[in-house]
Amino acid sequence: MATEAREENVYMAKLAEQAERYDEMVEAMEKVAKTVDTEELTVEERNLLSVAYKNVVGARRASWRIISSIEQKEESKSNDEHVAAIKEYRAKVESELSTICDSILKLLDTHLIPTSSTGESKVFYLKMKGDYHRYLAEFKTGAERKEAAEATLLAYKSAQDIALTELAPTHPIRLGLALNFSVFYYEILSSPDRACTLAKQAFDEAIAELDTLGEESYKDSTLIMQLLRDNLTLWTSDMQDEVGADDKEKVVEAED
């Protein structure tokens, strides 16, 4: 793609973002991403791609949670006719989620990860790979869920290996990885101990180097640190008070 066409697609992605037409934002940024065999995405392009997919998948994840909640209520009332209709509707949303996740995962594996040259971009894309496998694990069942969970773990661990050696503890991408990795341990693997250990270590290491944090990333880093602390508070509370754990766990899932 010529530079002019690439710039035009980036502009159209920004326009689509302003208009909150995220499906079209994805289309524009996919075109840009497929040209990176020789030159990787700029930080701006990378962020636009991430925002586009985050909004497209986020809307469906929210829908899925609402539908699943209604399904549970109808099942408790033994309203079989409604339950059958809801299951069919949920399957439609799950199909959309699968399509979106498969699309970005293919883009990551074929274009974005192979061409990433810096530690920062490698961690960014591997974290993204883990995120979208995690979104699949949220609704898949049986062998498919196990496969998605294993792929998530592998991607997050690969990202973590690079982040720990190449990114500062206060770097927002490293902190964001720790946040999402810990949520994965808590929600998908049901391992609150590992979730808390990972989140606490990331938070403590960042606090120790807070005075070295540059002004440009201060807001992003401190926001993620706050989210890490919020999750730690919630999770440790869950572990100490098993009676209310189920209700609290649902709050974590809804907020993620």
Spell out the per-residue pLDDT of the chain, length 256, in tens. 578 889 999 999 999 999 999 999 999 999 999 887 777 899 999 999 999 999 999 999 999 999 999 999 999 999 899 999 999 999 999 999 999 999 999 999 999 999 999 999 999 999 999 999 999 999 999 999 999 999 999 999 999 999 999 999 999 999 999 999 999 999 999 999 999 999 999 999 999 998 888 777 889 999 999 999 999 999 998 777 764 545 444 434 323 3
Residue 113 CA to residue 168 CA, distance in Å, equals 21
Q: Which two tokens stand for residue 250?
A: 């649902």
Pick from 156, 137, 135, 138: which is nearest to 148 by CA?
Answer: 137
70 to 58, 73, 93, 138, 244: CA distances (angstroms) = 19, 5, 14, 17, 21
Q: Are 124 and 46 in contact (CB under 8 A)?
A: yes
Question: Measured in whole angstroms, how far is the alpha carbon of residue 213 from the centre of its chain?
Answer: 24
pLDDT score recorded for residue 212: 81
The predicted pLDDT at position 213 comes to 81
Question: Quick one: pLDDT at residue 251?
Answer: 33
Residues in the chain: 256
- pLDDT at residue 163 in the model: 98
Q: Are 45 and 34 in contact (CB under 8 A)?
A: no
pLDDT attached to residue 256: 38
Looking at residue 216, what is its pLDDT?
79
The burial of 52, by beta-carbon neighbours within 10 Å (0-12 exposed, 13-18 middle, 19 or more buried), is given as buried
CA–CA dist 229, 134 (Å, integer): 21
List Cβ neighbours of 155 (8 Å cut-off, separation of 6 or more). 126, 127, 129, 130, 133
Domain regions of the chain by residue span: 1-115
Q: For residues 198 and 51, what is the distance between their CA atoms, to the nearest angstrom?
A: 26
pLDDT value for 242: 61
CB contact at 8 A, 64 and 93:
yes
pLDDT recorded at residue 169: 96
Beta carbons of 126 and 159 less than 8 angstroms apart = yes
Assigned fold of 1-115: Delta-Endotoxin; domain 1 (1.20.190)
Q: Strand, coil or helix: what is 38?
A: coil
Chain centroid offset of residue 169 CA: 20
